[in-house]
Chains A and B, each alone.
Chain A
């Protein structure tokens, strides 16, 4: 839907998904954890074990096939993003464990540099996930055009009907005004007659203005 601007980020995330395992840690001490990326990449078909629980996407009986397609690709992209977040989480845990080992000792600068390099990797992973989430939101938008347009048309039609109801109400009001006018004449209250006449004129104007909606009769 939204035009040239999303072609670039799309490429960016396109190159990300296959390169995913390469992007991950530089892993010096993280050897124990490097098995992690494997379950995460298969997570597109199975579920990521121990990852953030995935609330099932609400499945609704929508006839629009394009929309269903769009939603299933949303699911896939979100799942991929979730697994990238999961890898970043694992990396973060590993960094914290490493730091915890030093307890009261001051960490040597060389080791701090390693930690910061890993933290930068974590940041990159998180940004990759953010890009994927953004990608997923654009998928949501695709295929929504039609329902939205239909709803707009429906709303416009209802507004027209409301105008029609206005006409009926005006008519009922008119009966009362005429009666009031007649009563006014009977007692010779001219001020009242004037007011009633003005009101009736107003009704007539309103009726004329609202007239071109004859179709909404039942």
Chain B
């Protein structure tokens, strides 16, 4: 009885500080950001440009392409490192904003069971329920107050760098896209010129095979094109979402902020699904 009274006191004291803050949307946003695909895959594709171009190059062009390939290989790890840093940041933010990790509901259920066994020791069922409820609330208040504060620090201190890294990823994705368009013209260009130049009577089979190949390659590049757009959209959403989160740090639990963040989460899921559909 006395202990329950102490708990009530603690809970009331806890209520004086800012009320429980839900960081569900922050956590979901961080999760969705960490899981966003596209960039890593397109970085790898960019790294492997030479292999795809090789069959279509003249000896002279091939020598130049080999130098460029060496350069791509040498910086690839850096491209990946940018993304890894960002993913780690988002995962940590998610942990910090997460409730399940510190939510003691599992243990509290166990506790309720423990108390249930001692109903004849003076504690009634009502007390047991009240105790469990209060412990949960207390836990929430304590942990959410701390979590909120640290989420705050992390987002505020991290935003400028998060933006810088995301900006770099967007610029890189745009360059990948340009290099890919140029590669596409290298690959398809020779077919577009050589097919009409071929002798229709002697090269019939060759022309037919070339047309089939051209068709396949055209389809392949069309699919890839879409991925650059999606990846860029995703990065933009992450950048905007993080920026808005920083701007609204003081009223994270307001319905408006939560709705806004939920909107970014939804968009990121859509983009992720679109990326995995292809």
Contact = CB atoms under 8 A, between A and B. Distances in A.
Contacts of A34: none
B49 to A, nearest CB: 7
B70 interface: yes
A140 B172 contact: yes
Q: Range of interface residues on chain B?
A: 35 or more
A215 interface: no
B64 A127 contact: yes
Contacts, number: 250
Contact of B58 (A1, A120, A162, A192): A120
Given A96-B193, A99-B193, A130-B49, A151 B143 contact: no
Nearest to B132: A176
B210 interface: no
A31 interface: no
Given A6-B75, A137-B175, A148-B85, A112 B118 contact: no
Interface in A200-215: none
B60 A124 contact: yes
Interface string A128-170: 1111011111101100100110111011001101101110110
Interface in B150-179: 150, 153-154, 157-158, 160-165, 167-168, 170-172, 174-175, 178-179
Interface of A: 1-2, 5-6, 8-9, 12, 52, 55, 57-58, 60, 62-64, 67, 71, 74, 78, 81-82, 85, 88-89, 92, 95-96, 99-100, 102, 106-107, 112, 115, 119-120, 122-124, 126-131, 133-138, 140-141, 144, 147-148, 150-152, 154-155, 158-159, 161-162, 164-166, 168-169, 172-173, 175-177, 179-180, 183-184, 186-187, 189, 192, 196, 218
Given A152-B85, A192-B117, 11 more contacts: A92-B185, A106-B199, A119-B193, A126-B182, A131-B64, A134-B75, A147-B165, A151-B89, A154-B158, A164-B146, A176-B111
